[in-house]
Structure 1
Amino acid sequence: MKNEIRQQMFELMKNAGSNHGKLYQQLFNSSEWQAAKIIAVTMSTNMELDTMPIIEKGLSEGKTMLIPKTFPHHKMEFFEFENLESLILSNFGILEPNDNAKVIAKNKIDLIIVPGVAFSKNNNQRIGYGGGFYDRYLSDYLGKTISLVRHFQLIDSEWKLEITDIPIQRLIIEVE
């Protein structure tokens, strides 16, 4: 079921527009964003919600912005974002920090903006990209989590939850 939902969403995501100013504004106005000093966010691909406006806004407000780097065995760490020139392309085709970047301990991160493909209207569960990187990372994370959800990504369908699936604390949903 997850794989079918994931494939359907990939098609919708490929055709989605990129004007999501209201969604960003909802994030920037949230109490979680306002209180956070250290924020982690993924580097988006061309079919995802563009995360550069989030990174730029955080930096302009003096926040420390982090981006992930993946490692073998589904391990992921967050590193301080310096600039686009300091990033390298990963095997997944995503920009990641280079080997000189500074890793930030999980307990220092105030807010993680968690990516996803689909989100449940009922229980804040998410379907990710299938690698389990975020669920593993979030399993013992004690800070705040938010996902930015485009209207078509919010679904009624139920899918079989796995013991490793971690719900998101708050979904910020795009208004149509």
Structure 2
Amino acid sequence: MQEEKAALRRQLLERRNNLSTLDILEKSNQIIARLMTVPSFSAARTVLAYISHGTEVNTHGLIRSLLSQTSREVLVPVVADRQRHTLLLSSLHQWQELSTGAYGILEPTEVRERPAESVEVCLVPGIGFDVRGNRIGYGGGYFDRLLRSIRGTTIGLAYDFQVLDEVPNQEHDVPVDAVVTEKRLLYRDTLR
């Protein structure tokens, strides 16, 4: 199972890394526009958003937009412990508070820790998803550990080619409630 996941991870990453900057921007904008139509996202007052890096679905514009909405609190993940592969959540007030942190990902310079239970919607990165919400991440288990504590709606953001009929999953893997791509919106409970 681990070898199968690793091979699929490499294959999907290679394809994602071949996207042009323009493709990333165009597809990301389409994904974010579709995300805005998700009722749980529109209604959420507390949103946990991953800060994209590399060829991930770009969340920078979305986060900046959310920060300008005084009715919403924006939380971002921060690597808490590299040995234990754990994240903590920090409230973000301004984009300028970010600097390069663990793994080259932007993180707040001042951590204002917030409980996972406060998250109403969690935006989840991934290398691959399937139509049942199963996900393949980077292999460290950071988000799987975090997702166990999230009571709100979890939404994976992905390019459409990253969504497969089935991805290998194990007991410790935590599926997302929905996946948004530039072409479709998939809800876990309505797809078998």
Same fold at TM > 0.5: yes
CA contact (8 A) 1:139 1:164 kept: no
CA deviation after TM superposition for structure 1 residue 157, in Å: 4.2
Task: State the SS of the aligned residue for 2:102.
Answer: coil
Could you say which residue in structure 1 is the equivalent of 2:162? 153
Question: Quick check: 1:9 aligned with 2:20?
Answer: no
Aligned length: 173
Question: Quick check: 1:139 aligned with 2:174?
Answer: no
Closer/same/farther in 2, CA of residues 51 and 119 from structure 1, 3 Å limit:
same
Unaligned runs of 5+ in 1: none
Of 85, 99, 116 in structure 1, the residue corresponding to residue 126 of structure 2 is 116
Could you say which residue in structure 2 is the equivalent of 1:43? 51
Off by >3 Å, runs of 4+ in structure 1? none
Closer/same/farther in 2, CA of residues 83 and 59 from structure 1, 3 Å limit:
closer
Please report the TM-score for the alignment, with normalisation by the length of structure 2. Answer: 0.84
Between the aligned partners of 1:158 and 1:107, the Cα distance in structure 2 is 28
Between the aligned partners of 2:62 and 2:44, the Cα distance in structure 1 is 13
Partner amino acid for 1:135?
A: D
Task: State the SS of the aligned residue for 1:165.
Answer: coil
Could you say which residue in structure 1 is the equivalent of 2:89? 78
Between the aligned partners of 1:116 and 1:110, the Cα distance in structure 2 is 19
- Cα deviation digits, residues 16-56 of structure 1 (max 9, x gap): 22212221111112101111001011111121111112102
Between the aligned partners of 2:118 and 2:167, the Cα distance in structure 1 is 34
> What CA RMSD, in Å, does the superposition of the two structures yield over aligned residues?
1.5
CA contact (8 A) 1:68 1:97 kept: no
Between the aligned partners of 1:22 and 1:145, the Cα distance in structure 2 is 19
Task: Determine which structure has the larger helix proportion and give its number.
Answer: 2
State the percentage of identical aligned residues: 27
- Cα deviation digits, residues 71-108 of structure 1 (max 9, x gap): 2211111111233332232231111122x221111111
Unaligned runs of 5+ in 2: 185-192
Between the aligned partners of 1:157 and 1:105, the Cα distance in structure 2 is 32
CA deviation after TM superposition for structure 1 residue 12, in Å: 1.2
